């Protein structure tokens, strides 16, 4: 059973999801806007948050940013819009997944299962090799410390962007399909979307600047990190 916080200004959406999740014996708490969600997260812990983007008083992006100051709670974003900008902004804040309305409660629960299980596994995982450091010119990737530097300057990324870069480097010079990346980096099996990988790769290339050339697109296949 999960402790789920659903945040949406549409009561019908909150009630519909709460009914389905309750049937599966999950405990659901509801909030009608971002400010109420932030207040609830300061009072108690949740296993996962379902957060709408467009809401009065405080939008979903602002609420996630405020919650992440104090709590490390995985977040699935909901939006009536599917623009790439929204996804990029959400992933830049470190959200775990993104679903466009209208959505199926069954699919959302399936995605939540993956998000929570992955989050719990990450907390329980043993530390990686303490000497796992890679250099490519002035690009330095210290996986044990989760630090990426270019020309001695720190490159700040979201947790998922670090995970994606590390997986690409650990499997350098190997062709990796989008499905493989979804399974290994996100933990998805059936419910992942290629656009999730594509969006993260685009942002990752922006972070790497001149070193974006190391991430090669393989048409019809996926990506490869050329060392």
> Residue 6: how many CB atoms within 10 A of its CB?
25
Q: Classify 3-124 by CATH class.
A: alpha beta
| CATH topology identical between 3-124 and 133-225 | no
Q: What is the pTM of this model?
A: 0.63
Given 1.10.10.10, 3.40.47.10, 3.20.20.70, 2.40.40.20, which CATH number is that of 133-225?
1.10.10.10
Cα separation, 165 vs 101, in Å, equals 30
Position 142 pLDDT exceeds 80: yes
**Secondary structure (3-state) at 107:** helix
**How is the chain split into domains, by residue range?**
3-124, 133-225
* pLDDT score recorded for residue 81: 66
| Segment 148-180, tens digit of pLDDT | 999 999 999 888 889 999 999 999 999 999 888
Position 190 pLDDT exceeds 60: no
Cα separation, 30 vs 19, in Å, equals 12
| Segment 68-124, tens digit of pLDDT | 888 889 999 887 766 666 667 777 777 888 888 888 888 899 889 888 888 877 666
């Amino acid at each position: 059973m999960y402790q789920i916080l659903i945040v949406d200004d549409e009561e019908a959406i909150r009630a519909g999801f709460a009914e389905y999740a309750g049937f599966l014996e999950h405990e659901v708490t509801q909030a009608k806007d971002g400010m109420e969600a932030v207040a609830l997260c300061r009072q108690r812990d949740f296993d996962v948050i379902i957060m709408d983007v467009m809401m009065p008083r405080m939008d979903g992006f602002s609420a996630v940013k405020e919650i992440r100051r104090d709590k490390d709670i995985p977040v699935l974003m909901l939006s009536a819009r599917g623009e790439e900008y929204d996804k990029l902004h959400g992933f830049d804040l470190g959200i775990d997944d993104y679903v466009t309305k209208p959505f199926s409660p069954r699919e959302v629960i399936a995605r939540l299962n993956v998000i929570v299980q992955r989050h719990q596994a990450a907390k329980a995982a043993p530390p990686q090799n303490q000497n796992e450091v890679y250099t490519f010119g002035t690009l330095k990737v210290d996986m044990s410390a989760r630090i990426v530097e270019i020309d001695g300057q720190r490159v700040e990324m979201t947790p998922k962007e670090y995970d994606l870069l590390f997986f690409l480097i650990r499997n350098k010079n190997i062709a990796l399909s989008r499905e493989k990346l979804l399974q290994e980096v996100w933990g998805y099996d059936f419910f992942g979307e290629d656009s999730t990988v594509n969006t993260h790769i685009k942002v990752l290339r922006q972070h790497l600047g001149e070193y974006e050339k190391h991430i090669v697109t393989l048409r019809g296949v996926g990506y490869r990190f050329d060392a």
